[in-house]
Structure 1
């Protein structure tokens, strides 16, 4: 039992460390900056962050959320991303174990974490994440029997194509652009990693949750229908939900929608 807990512990730590790198990507990719150079530093005073001040979650708590050099407040986003990615990695490891599936879905979920926070702040989904993601997901499908290259390829076409049709339809009816190309490429990436069967589920859940959140925010802020809400985070949430519980939810829904033996 202790051996299993040790593996779980290191899975969480590994995910949190990668989450620290994701924070760099979240800040720099929208600016077109390198994620490698220069090394991590305080955005206010330029202080080069030492390794002992860059320990995921722990350093933020130890420093009480402030720079060691200039005492400037550090965004809470940093430990949140590290904790979130650590937990996702842990849960993926618990579900799939040390397998190629775990590795593939770890890359996928980490990409979704970065995309979510970038889209929330900048309302963009960087091609530098989604386009390589499509290629990686498709290539990996050749080595995963449960996915398969045909399933992945159809997922790419269905994912990207379905949102493209919706986007053009919305634009034709309203004469306004309601969905960016980033969402289309993101859903194509999801199809590459998860296969075509995931696409209807992801679109339905993302649309449902997005509508509830959007209406709630409009009522709370007293905004009209022009309130801009990024769709990427809802797609990411739905994709993660599919990874962990998609099949169970689909079977549960089908059991409700099926014929009633006593009717």
Structure 2
């Protein structure tokens, strides 16, 4: 009886190989891969194309745009957080700590209108570096900045005036933000005047501090569970993060 089933077994094996190794044509020669590796590769290509298209459609609104590398990482994490339902206020704030503190390296992008609504100077922690930030920590009293993705929280009035609490979303990278009292606030040392006098921006105890001229507008815009991404081309961050590749 075995010989009766042998052709069926061979047919099944041939069919499996065909599904794994070939492509299926649908809808006037649109080719769809069925191999899991091909599907993953195609998803990656599609995401990269989507990100590039979004970036190219952003209205700078008399500001500059963030560098594409930092935007790509930000878009990657933002998309995942949005799918998880964590984002309620659809603004993406990007802080690019690969840039000099003398540059306006903070951007706020309205992800609905695809428009830059604010660009600003922003300080890094005093133990993260001088003009450039190059060391980062999640530890209390390190006085270093922390990289990665955050959700903005609630406002309060403290010693720096109106301030905004933030919650780090990446364990071991920035999840101690609340415990460390890392918040967004205004500061006199985060100003063009300080840059002109010192050749660099002043530094914080780890907070992304901004000029008093923009801090209220920034805080009121992004409060209430919007996405904040602090970027640096750090290999150790990419290796630890589950939100960027």
Structure 2 length as normaliser, TM-score?
0.32
More helix by share: 1
More strand by share: 2
Structure ID, larger Rg:
2
> Which structure's relative contact order is higher, taking Cα pairs within 8 Å and 6+ residues apart?
2
TM-score (norm 1): 0.31
